[in-house]
């Protein structure tokens, strides 16, 4: 039963992480490029870097969390374990999204301040 839970959890969490990452990448492109309209390569680079870091961190976290999975003996325990772990992953995804938005804002603010000083 544990192997079924591992496989189902990894497939489900990976699908969610990849879907959300792709969604944020596509929709965040206009947000980031709005902050850096004069340097499109820089804006695209930041967006790609954020996506790769997001994937690595969240997929790594999902896989790492398998080490603490307890013995599972019923389908109810499978559901409880997967829901518990997915809720944690979703909280991390939400937190990272807001951190990324704030980080891009800080980078934009720093670059804007430097250009105003010159």
pLDDT tens for the 118 residues of the chain, in order: 788 888 888 999 999 989 988 998 898 888 777 777 788 888 888 888 888 988 998 899 888 888 888 888 888 988 898 898 889 888 988 888 888 788 878 887 888 788 777 6
Q: Give pTM, 2 decimals.
A: 0.76
Q: For residues 21 and 15, what is the distance between their CA atoms, to the nearest angstrom?
A: 10
Q: For residues 115 and 107, what is the distance between their CA atoms, to the nearest angstrom?
A: 12
79-84 LR contacts (CB < 8 Å, sep 24+): 81/5, 81/9, 82/5, 82/8, 82/9, 82/12
pLDDT of residue 50: 84
Domain ranges of the chain: 2-117
Q: For residues 50 and 41, what is the distance between their CA atoms, to the nearest angstrom?
A: 14
For residue 81, the number of C-alpha atoms closer than 13 Å in the C-beta half-sphere is 25
């Amino acid at each position: 039963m544990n192997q079924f839970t591992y496989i189902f959890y990894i497939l489900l969490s990976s699908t969610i992480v990849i879907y959300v990452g792709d969604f944020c990448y596509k929709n965040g492109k206009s947000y980031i490029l709005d902050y850096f309209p004069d340097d499109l390569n820089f804006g695209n680079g930041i967006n790609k870097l954020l996506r790769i870091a997001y994937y690595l961190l969240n997929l790594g976290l999902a896989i790492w969390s398998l080490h603490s999975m307890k013995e599972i003996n019923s389908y109810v325990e499978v559901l409880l374990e997967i829901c518990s772990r997915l809720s944690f992953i979703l909280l991390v995804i939400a937190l990272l999204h807001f951190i990324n938005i704030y980080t891009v804002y800080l980078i934009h603010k720093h670059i804007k301040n430097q250009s105003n000083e010159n």
